[in-house]
Structure 1
Amino acid sequence: MSLYRNTVWFMKGINQYTRRGYEVASKDFDPQALDVSTAGKSFMITGANSGIGRATAIAIAKKGGTVHMVCRNKDKAEEAKEDIIKQSGNTEIHVHILDMSETRKVWEFATAFRNQHASLNVLINNAGCMAHSRSVNAEGLEMNFATNTMGLYLLTKGLVPLLQKSQDPRVITVSSGGMLVQKLKVDDLQFERSSFDGVMVYAQNKRQQVVLTQQWAKENPDIHFSAMHPGWVDTPAVSTSMPQFHQTMGERLRTAEQGADTVVWLAVSEAAGKTHSGQFFQDRRPVPAHLPMAWTQSSAEEIRRFTDQLETLARNIQSQSDAQQNATQNSSEPQSV
């Protein structure tokens, strides 16, 4: 079955995920769909200093929106900020330094941002990781899972109350078509017992993101949730993580702007806001989250077990954060003698 899935997926990719696939799909785009102003609205974009995240930030900044760039590297983030301001003429660009793999810090950042800001209209979960050898973060979580799933889960969970207070709130997650070859692995979320293949681990994380998007949509009807596939895009992350694929595909890869197009459409267009929440998108239209006859659907019980595990991990991380903060406060208090 895995051979069938991979073959069908690759043929689908050659036809749809390439630059040519985008050019064909874009012929059906509404040319006025992105002719909107985002002035007065705020957008948070993780991984905003390069690739799809940077292209998204530039597009939104040009429309007047306030952009919160969540980035891991301060120097690269500041360079990207200067470029975004230069290209857009919009000075409401703010940098927040955060490594999405540091899950306790992700929760603390979300809590602080929620307390310090009156609103957030759109959260764009774009940052990703594809590590090819297994390692764990400070909380003992596998690094791909920590970045792609747990960090995303904590950030979204922490910001939902702020989004709910905002006008036309939306959450967009940049997933991947690679998840189409994966069925949710409920019994081994972090590949502790399975053989470790970075590409397949990444694809499993992307399946997890799509399942989360569907569940969040059911639980939060006042927020529009969506996941999307940007296609095969020429980004620094692809070049670094999948060098052979990057070299083989060459000019057939999409530009960062083409990869970001559906992200921007989901974030700002009136048409996107009218679509059913919880769907998986490709080139501005909802597409199936499963290949035909690939047997990748999960039962309601499997999804419940998956989300229960995430919530248990989230509570543990929150408890660690609370304990750390209490310890810090106690150490700073004057000692009686």
Structure 2
Amino acid sequence: MNREVLGRWADHGLDRSVVGGYTRFGLAVRRRLPGWPADPAPGALAGRTVVVTGASSGLGVATAAAFARLGAAVHLVVRDLAKGRRVADDIGGDVRLSRCDVSDVDDVRRFTESAGAVDVLVHNAGVLPASRRTTPQGHEIALATHVLGPLLMTELLQPLERVIFVSSGGMYAQKLPLDDPGYTRGEYRGAAAYARTKRIQVALVPLLARRWPGTTVTAMHPGWADTPGVAGSLPGFHRLTKPFLRDADQGADTTVWLGATRPAPASGLFWHDRRPRSPHLVPWTRHSDADSQAMLDWCATAVGLTP
């Protein structure tokens, strides 16, 4: 058995262990395995425009800064302009700043009217609500932020070279919520709402790759990263795992790689640490292609798009 095959087996073992693969140690080991994909070339994004949503903290800042270092013109999309300006000043270079609440589909439409041409779009904006909240259009806030707003934004910004959904390993514990996408029934739990909508993201990616055939559409999960969102929304998890968490740059690594590597990665897949991964770890989360299509039809209709 050659070294690259052994490397793939080791990588697979880390992935299935969850704890081993999602921590900073998992990334450190993988970087040393045979077959680790090469970094994007210097200047790989020169002449390209990249939009990063949720770019005022955590993974969004690290992602935007890395794209800028690769030569991109970076468009930071934030809800808080004051925080966004501080990030833009720190990054320097060719940086543009816009305010947009991705959960509000009317605000998304307004933003896209003035965004100009975009090459790479990263859906990084996220929310883990303490209680059920709705948008001005009546959509549950996690679903709107992670699925509905990004779906509409991507459609309205076409043509695009690449689209990347920053998902979460938390989606592995959830089924596709076909019977209640808006989480209107049962006891509402923010962590479950977050994970359910991340499952929807990953389920829709193969269909969106077909909907936008000229665009490379991918989803990824960053592993366990030490971000303000994790510390604020999951304080217990953060305390227990802090010594093992990835920093923001490590969490953003695969997003940056997916956006800048040449040739483009395979479309329609779910990635972690620069390799495609199965979207299911347990059999009870599996769904059919018809289920995914029904979910896409529901989401498209919810934001006024043709299914």
- TM-score over 0.5 (shorter chain): yes
Aligned to 1:322: none
Aligned to 2:105: 103
**Structure 1 residue 289 and structure 2 residue 279: aligned?**
yes
- Aligned in 2, Cα 1:15/1:314: closer, same or farther, shift over 3 Å? same
**Structure 1 residue 93 and structure 2 residue 83: aligned?**
no
* Aligned-partner residue type, residue 122 of structure 1: V
Partners of 2:41 and 2:201 lie apart in 1 by 26
Partners of 2:15 and 2:271 lie apart in 1 by 18
Gaps of 5+ in 1: 1-8, 164-168, 319-337
Residue 295 of structure 1 aligns to a residue whose secondary structure is: helix
Residue 205 of structure 1: how far off its partner (Å): 0.4
Aligned to 1:309: 298
Residue 156 of structure 1: how far off its partner (Å): 1.2
Deviation track 1:116-173 (CA, whole Å, cap 9, x = no partner) reads: x2x311001101010021111111111111111111111112112x32xxxxx01011
Residue 32 of structure 1: how far off its partner (Å): 4.5
Conservation of the 8 A alpha-carbon contact between 2:121 and 2:162: yes
**Structure 1 residue 260 and structure 2 residue 252: aligned?**
yes
Please give the TM-score of this superposition, normalised by the length of structure 2: 0.90
Match among 211, 214, 218 for residue 203 of structure 2: 211
* Aligned-partner residue type, residue 56 of structure 2: N
* Aligned-partner residue type, residue 158 of structure 1: L
Deviation track 1:159-210 (CA, whole Å, cap 9, x = no partner) reads: 12x32xxxxx010110011111111011100110132111111011001111
Aligned to 2:4: none
Gaps of 5+ in 2: 1-13
Aligned to 1:251: 243
Looking at secondary structure, tell me which structure has more helix per residue.
Answer: 1
Aligned to 1:158: 156
Residue 313 of structure 1: how far off its partner (Å): 1.0
- Aligned in 2, Cα 1:248/1:151: closer, same or farther, shift over 3 Å? same
* Aligned-partner residue type, residue 297 of structure 2: D
Residue 34 of structure 1: how far off its partner (Å): 4.2
* Aligned-partner residue type, residue 276 of structure 2: P
Residue 33 of structure 1: how far off its partner (Å): 3.6
Conservation of the 8 A alpha-carbon contact between 2:54 and 2:77: yes
Aligned to 2:122: 124
* Aligned-partner residue type, residue 298 of structure 1: H
- Aligned in 2, Cα 1:282/1:74: closer, same or farther, shift over 3 Å? same
Please give the TM-score of this superposition, normalised by the length of structure 1: 0.82
- Aligned in 2, Cα 1:26/1:185: closer, same or farther, shift over 3 Å? same
Conservation of the 8 A alpha-carbon contact between 1:125 and 1:152: yes
Conservation of the 8 A alpha-carbon contact between 2:175 and 2:199: yes
Conservation of the 8 A alpha-carbon contact between 1:188 and 1:194: no
Residue 186 of structure 2 aligns to a residue whose secondary structure is: coil
Q: State the number of aligned residues.
A: 291
Match among 16, 21, 28 for residue 21 of structure 2: 16
Residue 315 of structure 1 aligns to a residue whose secondary structure is: coil
Residue 47 of structure 1: how far off its partner (Å): 0.8
Aligned to 2:67: 60
Partners of 1:306 and 1:184 lie apart in 2 by 8
Partners of 1:61 and 1:187 lie apart in 2 by 42
Conservation of the 8 A alpha-carbon contact between 1:226 and 1:279: yes
Partners of 1:170 and 1:143 lie apart in 2 by 25
Match among 142, 146, 156 for residue 140 of structure 2: 142
Aligned to 1:76: 83
Residue 50 of structure 1: how far off its partner (Å): 1.2
Residue 38 of structure 1: how far off its partner (Å): 1.5
Partners of 2:16 and 2:121 lie apart in 1 by 32
* Aligned-partner residue type, residue 281 of structure 1: W
Conservation of the 8 A alpha-carbon contact between 1:234 and 1:253: yes
Aligned to 1:333: none
Partners of 1:280 and 1:11 lie apart in 2 by 15
Structure 2 counterparts to residues 236-247 of structure 1, below 5 A: 236-247=228-239
Q: Percent identity?
A: 38
Partners of 2:51 and 2:105 lie apart in 1 by 18
Q: CA RMSD in A?
A: 1.9
Partners of 1:10 and 1:67 lie apart in 2 by 32
Conservation of the 8 A alpha-carbon contact between 2:206 and 2:269: yes
> Whose radius of gyration is greater, 1 or 2?
1
* Aligned-partner residue type, residue 31 of structure 2: S
Partners of 1:309 and 1:170 lie apart in 2 by 24
